[in-house]
Amino acid sequence: MIKKILIVDDSPVARKMLKKCIPNQEKYHIIEAVDGKEGVDKFIEFAPELVFLDLTMPVLDGYSALKQIKTIDKNAIIVILTADIQPKSLSLVMACGAYSVLRKPAQFHSINDIIEKADNKLKGITRATDEH
């Protein structure tokens, strides 16, 4: 079950818009990071079940942050939320282990759908590890 959500975006406006799109946001512990490096650090510190990650950021970009987080936790559920929807960018992030890619600006229905899907995936991972 998703309890913690990490939002990694250098834009305070984008982070605020995304938070407003999260249904029942009061039931989640929402952590924010302003660049990829801080995002990786907060992933290590808080171990969120879901990460929303921008690609174009200072210090450490989203591509590098995605790779680092997937090295830390190969099962991390990372949703790329970006304005860069070029086919090359999309295939690159999917090859690096992104769970999904959503186009900015965040839309309530898309965020709601992805949270539900991620929650179901997480339940499946938990069940699979419980069986061993």
98/96 Cα distance (integer angstroms): 6
pLDDT above 70 for 132: no
Q: What is the pLDDT of residues 10-41, one digit of tens each?
A: 999 999 999 999 988 889 999 999 999 999 99
How many domains does the chain contain in total?
1
The CATH number assigned to the domain holding 54 equals 3.40.50.2300
For 36, the domain range is 4-130
Q: What is the pLDDT of residues 59-87, one digit of tens each?
A: 999 999 999 999 999 999 999 998 877 78
- Can you give the three-state secondary structure of 62-76, one letter per residue? HHHHHHHHHHHCCCC
Specify the pLDDT at position 125: 64
